[in-house]
Structure 1
Amino acid sequence: MSFDLNYKCWIAATKDIGQLIKKQNRLKLINPPEEKAISFKIFSELYVLYVELVNKLSFIYFNTFQVQKRQVVKTLIDNATQQLVLLKDELKEIELSEYIYIDKVLISRKLTPRDLMIWRSPQFLYRRPLDIQNILTENKLYMNNEEKEEMDAKSWSKVTEAIELIQAHERARRARVYKSNLKYDKKKFLEVHQRKKIHYRFTFKPNQAMSIPVKRTIFTADFIKSDVSCNDLRRRDENIEDAHDEYEMRRVYELRNEAASIIQSCWRDYKAKKINRIKQQFKKEMLGTKKLRKLKRPNQFENSVLEMYKNEKKKEQLDEEFAKLIMDERTRLLQMRTPWMMEDISDHIRGWFEEFYTKTLNFHPYPDPIKKGTVLVVLDETMTPLEFQETINKKPMTKEEKKKLLDKKRAEKRKIREKIKKKKIADAKRRKKLKDAGIIDVGYVLESSKPIAQIEATVKKFSIDWRNIDEYLNKNHDPIKSWVTEEQLVTIHQELRQLVDEYMRVEYELLRNALAIDQKVPYKPKNVKRAKPKKTKKKKKPVDPTEDRTLSSLYHELKDATVIEEVSHKNFDEFIADFNFLADDTRDDNNLTTVGPAKGDIKMVIQESMLGMSEFDIPKPKSILLVGPLNSGKKLLCNIIASELDAIFINISPEKVYKYADDLNMFLHIVMKVAKAFQPTILFIEEAHRVFFKKVPPDQKPIKPTLLGPHILKKILRPIKKTDKIVLLGTSNMPWAAKPPLKKAFQKIMLISKCDYGTSLLLWLELMTENAPDDLESYTYSALAKTLQAYNSGDIANNIADTLNVERKMRLRSEALDPREFLEYFLTVRDPPKFPLEQKIVEKMNKWFGRSDKFQKIRNSMALKAAKKK
């Protein structure tokens, strides 16, 4: 991306942040709205603004290379994303659902639900250390020169092996052909192949003198003499040379002419139609009326990831240059300014001694190291000469008086703390009372938000620090050297002051000793209070049975055992789903939605859950369970999540785990060690209800499905920290067959609903036009979507793939596609026939989900109360 575009985006983003801060400052002063709908509108408007801001900042951060500015952008996007999550939580609490619908705000800002998508893979990807990345991939982007040479040698050896293998197969093929020809006709074959062809090349150039004189003879004789005209030669036919009947010959000629004219007319008709179709397509594209719908393939994602790692390489180089600049500048300052800085500090302290001696004939107590030493003098936090004189004239306090004074100060501090605590309790009670009445204190929510305060402080600091710097002139992304010099001067000054304090303390004691001799009083040296080193409790390191093994060996062990699986690169565009555009209009008396979410809403919530797996510090669920019928897209979603995160995919399903039943603790230890080292990591359990079976079916007993159940909380979820980029993903199509611990093991449970009309229409439209874009541009997609809406998305995708195979696509122009072919696939081609999901299964899943989701529980209780009142 160009430097100019990134600069313009940054200017636009700073303006948006300024306007957003002004809007929030006005909202902080308003009284709590009495109507819940008003609070919902305020939060939804802020949520949309923050979504737009996060998208802009993520784009800018991805393309910002200047080191000091990149830190500013990172701080802004980190806090903006945290505030976005907080606003979403507030909206969920009001809506009592994981899915929010803010259609009115979107309409006012001329946006669609797709514009609320936050996740952007390259911008949010978590960057692994290079040594870890080298184990995962053989990409040269991450390798040093020695590793590149080794990789080149390996790749060249593989190429030579491949060439030798191809040559061996080609020689074998030639030998088989030679042998079969000998068997067929040995004499003829040998005669043909014994003739050696000699290829000559003519190299004479025009106007070139002949090296050997040649006599040229011009021949004028015409050796071709024939009475047969060209027309007769064209009409010769071996089959009718012996025909004596002139009528028969004429009939044959007429048939030939008629056949030729038919062929020519068909060909001209085909060419004319083709040219006309091309012209129409060009006209439609020029006018913008033709839009071919095609899925975005994962190549786009791969290119984005490749571009991201190239940018990361450039950023790494700039970071190294910046670290070198800091080191060089520090060395230069230490060499050139250290003696003068030490002299200035000591002169300043001596001047402080002299000032107090001339005014009080005494010396101010030397500040202790525990109180930052003579830094207090610079900050004017020591006593003035008058205040010091008053303390000298006062009588020294007794131990009892000191104790009373200390107790008095403690009581005052305790009183202040209790006052603050009472105020907080009163505010909390007031807010709870308002919340119970359906009123939300919007001003307090925004006032108490730490991300908002951090954004305001960062913007203010940026406006001060960068006011005299023209970023547009810095197209080489050079660091600002003057800032580095100032920072290093501050650091060196603090380090040198500690050293000078030790020398000046000796001089201070010599002055006090001399003063005591002049005043003829006993000299008593002052006790120096130093900071005590913090006693760190030595935590017992957990026993690591694989301490002697490398991460590479552990990784390849799991990979060779197919526990670590390779997932095909997919992105969220391949999970075809539409949003629910009716939910916002169908609300009950409590202003709650009555229509469930569509698959597009589910996809959006999953994307938001992935934000915690990025490089930014955002809360995330440790475990997610996707519940839905077969072929509803659960496994595809898990595959997409792993691809979008560029995560390693560790399959700990019962089929994989039962092989390690003899030493399960060691297996789980290796899995978690690899997961933490190679994060981001996806721990996947297929059909997770099997791990908590109430009763194990006979066909599942050989793989011991419940083997992992007792260890999930203790061995897998508990070791995952908040900062770890690890998530446990599970799928289930029979959650009611599991025990209650299934709900405890998964922090977030999502029910993938049945296929709605919008999603069904998009599936038919996208997949069919992708298979045959020209032949199926206009088709009965709406009728297909309405008729076969009850089938799951996976069933529809399989139907299209099997029905529109290569053979059928070849016959599309001659034989139009009948919609009944898709219905026949479900009813007659498949054995047994495939019918839509039964309604009782759907109701069973909804009932189980209603007892598992916290928001659904509240909704059910509210519905029961309303029913009792009626």
Structure 2
Amino acid sequence: MSQRAYNDLWADAQLELSRLLAEEQPAEQPQPQKDRVVFFQRLAMLYVRYIQILRKLQKAHELIIHPQKRRAIRKVIDSVMGRVVELKNEMVEKEFLEYHYMDDILHDMKLTPDKLEIPLPQYFPNDHSKEVQERKAMLMKIFKMVEATESLEPSTEKEMTQEEAIRVIQVAERARQGRMRSKLYEESREASLRSTNAGTESTELAAICIQKVWRGYIQRKKTKIERVKELIALGMVMDPKYLAPSPAEVALLAAEACTRLKQQEHEAAYQKAVVAVTNQLREMEGNNMSNTLKSQVREWFFKCRNVTGSFPDYPDEEDGGSAFIFAEKSPQQVLEEIAAKEDEASSNKSRGKEEQKEKRKPDKKMIDEQEEAGLKMHPSAFLSDLEAADKTFNDFWSSRDETENFSQKHDVELIKEEKRKVVEDEIRVQVDEQMRQELAELKLSVDKDKGGKTKANTKKKKGSKSGKKKKKEKDLTADRTLESLCQELVEQGLLKQPNDVRLQDFLGDFNYLGTTLRQNDIEPMPSLSDVRQVISLYAILPLGSQVVHEKAPLIKSILLVGPEGAGKKMLVHAVCQETGATLFDLSPLNTAGKYPGKSGLAMMVHVVFKVARLLQPSVIWIGDAEKMFYKKVPKEEKELDPKRLKKDLPKSLKLIKGEDRVLIIGTTEDPMSADIKSMCKMYNKILLIPRPDYGSRYIMWKELINQKGGETTKALDLSSLAKISDGYTPGHMVKAIQSVVTERRIRQQGSRPLTAAEFVAPLARIDPVFQEQEEALKNWYAKTPLGRKRVKAATGKEEEQPPVKGKGAKKKT
């Protein structure tokens, strides 16, 4: 595709976004919706449409090479991602479920299930900013240094247990017996060949025997070819020539790789141009800007003195300095407004009692409205940004003539417009310092009599400001560098490298019957595809985008609940890889014996959260999260003190703000052993990860066997294998595949293809997830805050609106 095609894709996405904004903000305020199902359908429709817009914008951003266009698209992508997260949050509030089923909406919109996947921007882990690159290089240097020191340490040999010794002896003995049997077989075969008389069989019988074997082989081969041709003609099997990438696809991939190289070249040229233009503006326009600002500030000085009789106080740097002055209205306008307010106040005194009576009436109306009101959408923090981006596109980019800009390089005039404001802010700071001194000299020379009063006023003002300031968090490591703190955490095993896994490696199929089952009063279990979507919305998008994290509903912590091998730890590492986040491990077993005592514990939490903020985005993983909230600590774990972080960690969690891209992810297999109230207070979101269904198991067996080097032929009945593996988790399947698909077995596949029977024995040695365990997890989840709301809604006890306090509410029973 050409750059024109990608620009058209961007234009299509903006057109669809304009239509969607017109629907979300109509001219007339829509009436509240009383039907919860209809309201949810509207939310789900908006959610799916925004995802389709996000997919188009993401594709355009990946392959457009114009650096300024890519920045404009990225702003829209951040706002669309935030709106998707907002809609997801509203759907959870209205349906009281973390997972939703939209197969009916996909059917109505003629979309395939893969279109519902959340597209993850590629620029999340590939942040090319100078600070991020320096931090990554520093961490890699520390990891390599610690690995080198550990390798130099003398390795202590582990003592072999009795069972391991017996197993080694058995293996050696069985190998010896196998060699002996093979030797005896060869000797007996040679002896039999020597004893037989070669001349007894005629040449004709030998030729006939060979012909039979050969003709049978040729006929079977022809039959197999004809069978494959028939299946291809019926559309039941893919033509092999379409399995390999076509020349057109190869050319497209090569063109996209070339496009990404051009992106990097144009980006580097753009960065150089930014520096050059900024320096040019400082030299050419800096003096004019400075003189203009000084004259404006002086004019403001004397206007205020003429109106108020004294020189004003200069705004502080925290308030914006001279920018705060020109944001306010002129002194004359202020006086006119004060006079108008005094006239209104005098005229309104006579009507005070009447207004108070009238104010009581709307209270009753409000109560009636609340009783009759239905469901409304929450105000969005991203619609204004989307409207501004849509206006910018329509006013500037859509009508821009780029016939002469064939190479799609940056526009210098646009850089000047952007950087002129930056240079003006820099000069404003310098001008503010000079004008403060000038104002102080004017006060001393002209307002000598009023100088004491003004000083007293300023002192009072400063005192009032200082009284409002909140106490800052005490920095226990103010005298230490970031590198030394990171090295300490790596040596203690609290800062780790995430595994190289992606979210797409978390395999799972879509739930095609979710809506149908609900219509028949059957609550379906979520699929692993739903888990991927929720992790993308709750963890990856907020951690990857600062805009989404600050404006979207803040999620500080997530708890992943599921059986052993469900993929909880894999999801933690996938979040780190997709966002380029730093991984910290505060699992109870990992922190046992480290930083002892109260002071040591406070230091550990302080250092981890300090480094997490400095190296954001960051993920703090807590494995076996139930141990931190044990109802009763087992005897064998009392020495480990697993509950030592129970008090300090929630306190540090409260200090995480919107600008801190730090996320705590806990994983647990046995939440029933923990105090549910304390655990639910700690984690904002609790996600139940189910065992895979039939469709997910079928995909897993096929993909995991192929990844290991196996071949999925007709001899391997994947459908039966997926059926008999019901109850097994992805971790169990991986263990079974590793034990069967060895290097020796891979070499034998040509003569002996893999069969489903080979995987039965390894699976039989593993305990599956029994129905009792799954029901226990479901019952536990029903006791969580969201689970209780869902139970109340299902039984019809859910309250649509909170009770209204006041005189009118007392009559209501």
**Paired letter, 1:679:** Q
**Paired letter, 2:529:** G
1:597-632 deviation digits (Å, cap 9, x = unpaired)? 122212211111121111232234211111111122
Q: Structure 2 vs 1, CA of residues 121 and 21 (structure 1 numbering), >3 Å: closer, same or farther?
A: closer
| Partner residue of 1:617 out of 540, 547, 570 | 547
Give the conservation status (yes or no) of the 8 Å contact 1:369–1:529. Answer: no
Deviation at 1:866, TM superposition (A): 7.8
Deviation at 1:692, TM superposition (A): 1.8
Matched, 1:681 2:610: no
Equivalent residue, structure 2, for 1:819:
756
1:90-112 deviation digits (Å, cap 9, x = unpaired)? 22233221112222221122223
Give the conservation status (yes or no) of the 8 Å contact 2:125–2:577. Answer: no
Equivalent residue, structure 2, for 1:479:
412
| Partner residue of 1:606 out of 530, 535, 545 | 535
Which shifted more, 309-318 or 3-12? 309-318
Equivalents in 1 of 2:89, 2:283: separation in Å? Answer: 50
| Partner residue of 1:635 out of 566, 569, 593 | 569
**Paired letter, 1:333:** E
Structure possessing the higher radius of gyration over alpha carbons: 1
Equivalent residue, structure 2, for 1:32:
32
Equivalent residue, structure 2, for 1:795:
732
Equivalent residue, structure 2, for 1:90:
90
Give the CA RMSD over aligned residues: 5.7
Matched, 1:433 2:367: no
Q: Secondary structure at the match of 1:694?
A: coil
Matched, 1:130 2:130: yes
Q: Structure 2 vs 1, CA of residues 809 and 374 (structure 1 numbering), >3 Å: closer, same or farther?
A: closer
Equivalents in 1 of 2:514, 2:634: separation in Å? Answer: 40
Equivalent residue, structure 2, for 1:851:
783
Which shifted more, 600-609 or 251-260? 251-260
Which shifted more, 67-76 or 92-101? 67-76
Deviation at 1:464, TM superposition (A): 3.1
Equivalents in 2 of 1:6, 1:804: separation in Å? Answer: 44
Matched, 1:597 2:534: no
Gaps of 5+ in 1: 144-150, 159-247, 295-303, 354-362, 392-396, 506-523, 828-832
Deviation at 1:89, TM superposition (A): 2.2
Equivalents in 1 of 2:426, 2:88: separation in Å? Answer: 45
1:166-217 deviation digits (Å, cap 9, x = unpaired)? xxxxxxxxxxxxxxxxxxxxxxxxxxxxxxxxxxxxxxxxxxxxxxxxxxxx
Equivalents in 2 of 1:834, 1:459: separation in Å? Answer: 56
Equivalent residue, structure 2, for 1:14:
14
Q: Structure 2 vs 1, CA of residues 368 and 694 (structure 1 numbering), >3 Å: closer, same or farther?
A: same
Alignment of 1:503-522 (within 5 A): none
Give the conservation status (yes or no) of the 8 Å contact 1:293–1:770. Answer: no
1:463-488 deviation digits (Å, cap 9, x = unpaired)? 33457632464411233256359758
**Paired letter, 2:8:** K
| Partner residue of 2:659 out of 723, 728, 748 | 723
Equivalents in 2 of 1:553, 1:621: separation in Å? Answer: 30
Alignment of 1:301-316 (within 5 A): 315=267
Equivalents in 2 of 1:56, 1:529: separation in Å? Answer: 60
Deviation at 1:24, TM superposition (A): 2.9
**Paired letter, 2:664:** L
Equivalent residue, structure 2, for 1:459:
390
| Partner residue of 2:503 out of 567, 572, 575 | 572
Deviation at 1:583, TM superposition (A): 1.5
Matched, 1:550 2:487: no
Gaps of 5+ in 2: 149-196, 246-255, 315-321, 440-449, 799-813
Equivalent residue, structure 1, for 2:585:
651
Deviation at 1:725, TM superposition (A): 1.6
Q: Structure 2 vs 1, CA of residues 39 and 324 (structure 1 numbering), >3 Å: closer, same or farther?
A: same
Which shifted more, 776-785 or 309-318? 309-318
**Paired letter, 1:718:** K
Equivalents in 2 of 1:770, 1:826: separation in Å? Answer: 19
Q: Structure 2 vs 1, CA of residues 335 and 422 (structure 1 numbering), >3 Å: closer, same or farther?
A: farther
Equivalents in 1 of 2:362, 2:277: separation in Å? Answer: 48
Give the conservation status (yes or no) of the 8 Å contact 1:613–1:725. Answer: yes
Q: Secondary structure at the match of 1:31?
A: coil
Equivalent residue, structure 1, for 2:116:
116
Equivalent residue, structure 2, for 1:164:
none
Matched, 1:325 2:261: no
Equivalent residue, structure 2, for 1:748:
685
Equivalents in 1 of 2:324, 2:207: separation in Å? Answer: 111
Deviation at 1:687, TM superposition (A): 1.1
Q: Structure 2 vs 1, CA of residues 268 and 485 (structure 1 numbering), >3 Å: closer, same or farther?
A: same
Q: Secondary structure at the match of 1:643?
A: helix
**Paired letter, 1:327:** N
Q: Secondary structure at the match of 1:617?
A: helix
Q: Structure 2 vs 1, CA of residues 617 and 603 (structure 1 numbering), >3 Å: closer, same or farther?
A: same
Q: Structure 2 vs 1, CA of residues 859 and 420 (structure 1 numbering), >3 Å: closer, same or farther?
A: farther
| Partner residue of 1:781 out of 713, 718, 723 | 718
Deviation at 1:313, TM superposition (A): 8.7
**Paired letter, 1:103:** D
Q: Secondary structure at the match of 1:674?
A: helix
Equivalents in 2 of 1:76, 1:423: separation in Å? Answer: 45
Give the conservation status (yes or no) of the 8 Å contact 2:592–2:640. Answer: yes
**TM-score under structure 1 normalisation?**
0.66
Equivalent residue, structure 2, for 1:162:
none
Matched, 1:736 2:667: no
Give the conservation status (yes or no) of the 8 Å contact 2:21–2:387. Answer: yes
Q: Structure 2 vs 1, CA of residues 594 and 403 (structure 1 numbering), >3 Å: closer, same or farther?
A: closer
Equivalents in 2 of 1:420, 1:320: separation in Å? Answer: 65
Q: Structure 2 vs 1, CA of residues 366 and 119 (structure 1 numbering), >3 Å: closer, same or farther?
A: farther
Deviation at 1:851, TM superposition (A): 0.4
Q: Secondary structure at the match of 1:728?
A: strand
Give the conservation status (yes or no) of the 8 Å contact 1:373–1:501. Answer: no
Percent sequence identity over aligned pairs: 24
Give the conservation status (yes or no) of the 8 Å contact 1:623–1:748. Answer: yes
Equivalents in 1 of 2:478, 2:436: separation in Å? Answer: 45
Q: Structure 2 vs 1, CA of residues 293 and 455 (structure 1 numbering), >3 Å: closer, same or farther?
A: same
Give the conservation status (yes or no) of the 8 Å contact 1:330–1:488. Answer: no
**Paired letter, 1:696:** V
Q: Structure 2 vs 1, CA of residues 805 and 310 (structure 1 numbering), >3 Å: closer, same or farther?
A: farther
Give the conservation status (yes or no) of the 8 Å contact 1:676–1:724. Answer: yes
Equivalent residue, structure 2, for 1:168:
none
Equivalents in 1 of 2:262, 2:648: separation in Å? Answer: 41
Q: Structure 2 vs 1, CA of residues 313 and 698 (structure 1 numbering), >3 Å: closer, same or farther?
A: farther
Equivalent residue, structure 2, for 1:170:
none
1:222-249 deviation digits (Å, cap 9, x = unpaired)? xxxxxxxxxxxxxxxxxxxxxxxxxx9x
Q: Secondary structure at the match of 2:700?
A: helix
**Paired letter, 1:658:** A
Matched, 1:563 2:509: no
Deviation at 1:784, TM superposition (A): 1.8
Equivalents in 1 of 2:737, 2:493: separation in Å? Answer: 31
Deviation at 1:864, TM superposition (A): 4.5
Deviation at 1:432, TM superposition (A): 4.4
Alignment of 1:391-430 (within 5 A): 405=343, 408=346
Give the conservation status (yes or no) of the 8 Å contact 2:509–2:699. Answer: yes
Equivalents in 1 of 2:225, 2:80: separation in Å? Answer: 51
Equivalents in 1 of 2:543, 2:376: separation in Å? Answer: 31
Q: Secondary structure at the match of 2:781?
A: helix
Deviation at 1:46, TM superposition (A): 1.4
1:301-346 deviation digits (Å, cap 9, x = unpaired)? xxx999999967964662453243133124212457988x799989
**Paired letter, 1:597:** P
Alignment of 1:29-178 (within 5 A): 29-62=29-62, 69-125=69-125, 127=127, 130-131=130-131, 133-137=133-137
Q: Structure 2 vs 1, CA of residues 405 and 754 (structure 1 numbering), >3 Å: closer, same or farther?
A: same
